[in-house]
Amino acid sequence: VAVYDALWVNAHLATMTSQGDAYGSIRDGALATHGGLIAWVGPRAALPSQPQELARTVIDAGGRWITPGLVDPHTHAVFGGERLRDFERRIGGEAYVAATGPERGIAHTVAMTRAASDAELYASARGRLEALIASGATTVEIKSGYGLDEETEIRMLRTARRLGRDLGVTVRTTYLGAHVVPPEFLERRAEYVTFVCETMLPRLARERLADAVDVFCDSIAFAPEEARRIFSAAAALGFPVKMHADQLGDCGGAELAADCGALSADHLEYASDAGIAALAAAGTVAVVLPGAFYYLREKRAPPIATLRACGVPIALASDCNPGTSPLASLTAAMNMACVLFGLTPHEALLATTRNAARALGLGDRGELRLGLRCDLALWDVASPAELCYWLGRRLCAGVVVAGSSRAAP
């Protein structure tokens, strides 16, 4: 009598647990699923009987490596239009903060997103999500923040939810109403913060459209005291919080994120030593975003050595967005994190599995371990480090979500 729904054999496993080598490797391993969870994992030689006697379906993984399905904990993948004009101007040497005026900056994407139909938002984001899945992702966070008015923010979050259902992966939605102050509130900032706290957050809680709340805290966005007000309102409604912190300058973002018990503080290029120490004490995950650093040709990398020294878990994300990181591949992000930030390949894989799951507050995934969700990625590589070595080459042979193989997009 078959015990398991499916069993993968002829595979090497990077379990990303703390057992064995850095990757928790099991060469010539086997992994079984039952009811969507990992029901057995270990060396093939330790299987209690023949594979065919153990599972209804036995899958020969062809000697591939299997890792936990990758987790992208920070994207802005739903938006209207693009920002080609910004891109062309910037490669001509213009600074990011100078991007204002028609067809420029976040305000342009806000206008394009408001003007886009639901079908247009869905179709363009679907292509980006398919690309992330093709790079090994089985869990993707998607933020709102390009609508800013009530109806467009709701449409963005509904689009994200629908994408998760249709593509058969986990989509976690984050409300980023505090991305920038929308044009109609430019002279009335405090009123906009009140609208976020008193109109948007209660509605999102009622309609269960957001899994977390994010604030862009920086010189061109929201001030620390505004962020604190939004986080208090979010926490009162039971939302976990996270923050775009210290990307363009040190505004005490890391300290504030830690103080508010944020799941993650993201970017952190300019975070201070005291800010990093505060993240460590609070158990807040640092999410690094090499795509934006690369596209903006920034000079200042996040303080990886200090994060390591303080023991802050480091996660990594595509930051897929039209303005500063039109990047739709987690393996490319891993390569960039190694080349630009000096992460080791092991740190980069930990940053897209265990630590990325933690950045989303998901304790049920991110490792190949008994009882966790059976979310897997299968790879055409000879070792896990090779995932970080190639740039622009498709390495993922397919993903498995809750025990079911998902056809490659």
Residues that bind Zn ion (CB under 5 A): 319
Least distance (Å) from Zn ion to the CB of residue 268?
12
| Tokens linked to 66 | 């299997």
Cβ-closest residue to Zn ion? 319
Q: Which is nearer to Zn ion, 141 or 319 (CB)?
A: 319
**DSSP string computed for 85-125:** HHHHHHHTT--GGG--STT-HHHHHHHHHHHS-HHHHHHHH
Least distance (Å) from Zn ion to the CB of residue 188?
25
Least distance (Å) from Zn ion to the CB of residue 269?
13
Least distance (Å) from Zn ion to the CB of residue 246?
13
Q: Which is nearer to Zn ion, 337 or 399 (CB)?
A: 337
Cα–Cα distances in angstroms (integers) from residue 138 to residues 175, 329, 396, in the given order: 21, 12, 12
Rounded distance between C-alpha atoms, residue 104 and residue 77, angstroms: 18
Rounded distance between C-alpha atoms, residue 388 and residue 163, angstroms: 28
Q: Which is nearer to Zn ion, 292 or 374 (CB)?
A: 292
Task: Please state at what angle helix 84-91 crosses helix 105-115, rounded to 10 degrees.
Answer: 160
Least distance (Å) from Zn ion to the CB of residue 177?
14
Rounded distance between C-alpha atoms, residue 46 and residue 55, angstroms: 15
Least distance (Å) from Zn ion to the CB of residue 141?
10
Q: Which is nearer to Zn ion, 33 or 321 (CB)?
A: 321
Least distance (Å) from Zn ion to the CB of residue 261?
20
Least distance (Å) from Zn ion to the CB of residue 123?
22
Q: Which is nearer to Zn ion, 211 or 319 (CB)?
A: 319
Rounded distance between C-alpha atoms, residue 122 and residue 149, angstroms: 18
Least distance (Å) from Zn ion to the CB of residue 106?
10
Q: Which is nearer to Zn ion, 319 or 367 (CB)?
A: 319
Q: Which is nearer to Zn ion, 221 or 376 (CB)?
A: 221
Q: Which is nearer to Zn ion, 87 or 390 (CB)?
A: 87
The burial class, CB within 10 Å (0-12 / 13-18 / 19+), for 156 is: buried
Rounded distance between C-alpha atoms, residue 233 and residue 162, angstroms: 27
Q: Which is nearer to Zn ion, 39 or 176 (CB)?
A: 176
Least distance (Å) from Zn ion to the CB of residue 58?
42
Rounded distance between C-alpha atoms, residue 49 and residue 295, angstroms: 52
Number of other residues whose CB lies within 10 A of the CB of residue 232: 12
Instruction: Give phi and psi for 25, each to the nearest 5.
Output: -70, 140
Nearest Cα residue to 61 out of 15, 136, 9? 9
Q: Which is nearer to Zn ion, 86 or 319 (CB)?
A: 319
| Tokens linked to 140 | 């993707």
Nearest Cα residue to 316 out of 350, 277, 280, 361? 350
Rounded distance between C-alpha atoms, residue 103 and residue 59, angstroms: 51
Contact (Cβ atoms closer than 8 angstroms) between residue 362 and residue 71: yes
Neighbouring-strand partners of residue 377: 67, 399
Nearest Cα residue to 258 out of 231, 290, 222? 231
